[in-house]
Structure 1
Amino acid sequence: MVKIDDTDRRILAILQRDAAIGLDALGDKVGLSRNACWRRIRALDEAGVILGRVALLDPDRLGLGLTVFMQIRAERHDAEWLTAFARATKAMPEIQSVYRMTGDLDYLIRARVADMKDYDRLYQRLIARVPMGDVSASFVMEEIKDTTELPL
């Protein structure tokens, strides 16, 4: 774990909401000069605290209005299956997150698709690449909270 102070936390909180903020504006918000902000951000980058900077897109405006959570039970529990599963899911741009889970299911996938037909195409491509023990899906009816911000 990297040691960060309150100023670093304030910088990170602002950058999580707006990574495009200028150094002058950021400095004004946290009470530092432009150069001091830049040095702190560079140190946080080098320490691996900041993993990257991205633009968040509106999925509805891009025709990807349906979020699906896929619950997966593995057909087998060996390295070969896991490697094939990881390779297949990483290659599918609709799949945004893949988690290995405890409990009744083995993996949880979060994906964004246009509609049910698009989900079916994703499902068919996935099961063609990797044999599954069981796949079930739940579809998001209302998105109440979805954030990329970590609590600081």
Structure 2
Amino acid sequence: MTHDATLDLIDRKIVAALMADATTPIARIADAVGLSQTPCWKRIQRLEASGVILRRVALADPARLGLGLTVFVGIEAPDHSAEWREGFARALTRLPQVMEAWRMAGDADYLLRIAVADMAGYDAFYRQLTGAVPIKAVTARFALESLRHSTAYPVNTRDR
């Protein structure tokens, strides 16, 4: 059950409902998908056990947490050895500002999304990162405004 094609319509509707609001009561989800509560709860447990649902979290407003600056950081690696990649991955685990890290194809080898309070916060992050592992080049792009942000994947909730 690791691919959308293996999920039936009810599973997809349950996943979509939980992505929209993980605090939605089971009774409301069950009613929306046409099940009673127990079978709905069992499906949710199965979706969690199979890894379709990874975890349920609360989404917070970064600005209200004092993290008003989002920076997209492109990293160019000095080499592509397993040793460097492992060191880089270890360094990222020690940098809580990193919200996402992606290995890329193209002009940047890695793309990070970080959350910091301000430019001084970014400078401190930059110093920590470049002090932890050798890096060939760093490119930063500072977000001015979020036009769209979602954590919900576009799950097909219609019968195919």
TM-score interval, smaller chain: over 0.9
* Residue 22 of structure 2 is aligned to residue 19 of structure 1: yes
* Residues 1:55 and 2:55 aligned together: no
Hey, what does 2:42 align to over in structure 1? 39
RMSD (Å), alpha carbons: 0.9
**Structure 1: 5+ residue runs without aligned partners?**
none
Instruction: Give the deviation of 1:31 after TM superposition.
Output: 1.6
Once the 2 structures are TM-superposed, how far is the Cα of residue 109 of structure 1 from its aligned partner? 0.6
Count of residue pairs brought into register by the alignment: 152
TM-score under structure 1 length normalisation:
0.97
CA distance in 2, matches of 1:47, 1:77: 33
Rounded Cα–Cα distance in structure 1 between residues aligned with 2:64 and 2:106:
36
**Deviation readout 1:70-121 (Å, 9 max, x if unpaired):** 0110012111111110000122111011111111211111000000000000
Q: 1:29 Cα shift?
A: 1.6
- SS of residue paired to 1:151: coil
Distance 2:79 2:131 in 1: 16
Matches of 2:45 and 2:132 in 1, distance apart?
41
CA distance, structure 2, for counterparts of residue 88 and residue 146 of structure 1? 27
- Which stretches of structure 1, 4 residues or more, deviate above 3 A after TM superposition? none
Aligned pairs for 1:1-152 within 5 A? 1-2=2-3, 3-152=6-155
SS for the counterpart of 1:44 is helix
* Distance in 1 (alpha carbons) for counterparts of 2:118 and 2:144: 12
Segments of structure 2 that go 5 or more residues without pairing to the other structure are: 156-160
Secondary structure in structure 1 of the residue aligned to 2:55: coil
Aligned identity (percent) is 47
Task: Tell me the amino acid that sits aligned with residue 38 of structure 2.
Answer: N
* AA of the residue aligned to 1:92: L
Shift of 1:35: 0.4
Report the 3-state secondary structure (helix = DSSP H, G, I; strand = E; otherwise coil) of the residue aligned with 2:114. Answer: strand
* CA positional deviation for 1:149: 0.5
| 3-state SS of paired residue (1:61) | helix
Could you tell me which amino acid in structure 2 is paired with residue 149 of structure 1? A
CA–CA distance in 1 between the matches of 2:96 and 2:150? 19
Give the TM-score taking structure 2 as reference length.
0.92
